[in-house]
Amino acid sequence: TFLAKGSANLDKLKDLCNEGEEHPSTLFQLYTQAVLDITYFEENQLVDEDFPEESALQKLRELISVLSEPEDLVRECGIKEPLNVLGAELLECLYWRKGALLYMYCHTAKERSEWVQENIATFKKCLNDGVQYLMKMLSFRCPLQLDEDVSLQDKDTARLLSEG
């Protein structure tokens, strides 16, 4: 169903582009929704397969790249603030999906202790990137200004920030 929805959004996008009368933000939003629908299907496959050790990391990179495309495309068009075009809801979804995907991957990968020991730098990068995506997701409606001396590795600070 998500692939069908994504395909329908792409068809609608194609029709609107051919007409040439639609506002660009509508086109960007339809494209973003199609990306979200199509990647949702692929993310679920990864989760259902417990993030296969031999291919999950590459698939993660591909999915995160695809989930970054709408925002990158908006910027490539000379628009400095994607929030003005895509809106908070779609940007939150993009960042939520990237952060949640990395969280689920790390949660699964930590059970593979040998892999974690051999790939600790990659594991930590996935954790850090996931946290950064989730913090960015939260910032669209509730901006959080952190001083330079705030350490996110401090458990008390992290708890306070998470509780708002």
Distances (CA, A) of 80 to 35, 87, 108, 134, 140: 21, 13, 36, 21, 15
> Which has more pLDDT, 160 or 27?
27
Give helix 24-48 / helix 2-19 axis angle, nearest 10°: 160
- pLDDT, position 134: 93
pTM (predicted TM-score):
0.78
How many Å apart are CA 7 and CA 5, to the nearest integer? Answer: 5
- pLDDT, position 98: 98
Distances (CA, A) of 99 to 14, 23, 25, 161: 30, 30, 25, 17
- pLDDT, position 164: 45
Give helix 82-109 / helix 24-48 axis angle, nearest 10°: 0
Find the largest Cα–Cα distance for the chain. 56
**Residue 119 clears pLDDT 60, i.e. is over it:** yes
* Cα 25–Cα 93–Cα 56 angle in degrees, nearest 5: 120
> Which has more pLDDT, 85 or 4?
85
- pLDDT, position 145: 64
Cβ atoms of 141 and 158 closer than 8 Å: no
Confidence band for 157, pLDDT divided at 50, 70 and 90:
low
> Which has more pLDDT, 159 or 35?
35
**Residue 105 clears pLDDT 80, i.e. is over it:** yes
pLDDT (tens digit per residue) in 82-101: 999 999 999 999 999 999 99
Q: Per-domain residue ranges for the chain?
A: 2-163
**Residue 130 clears pLDDT 90, i.e. is over it:** yes
- pLDDT, position 43: 95
> Which has more pLDDT, 77 or 116?
116
**First-residue to last-residue Cα distance in the chain:** 36
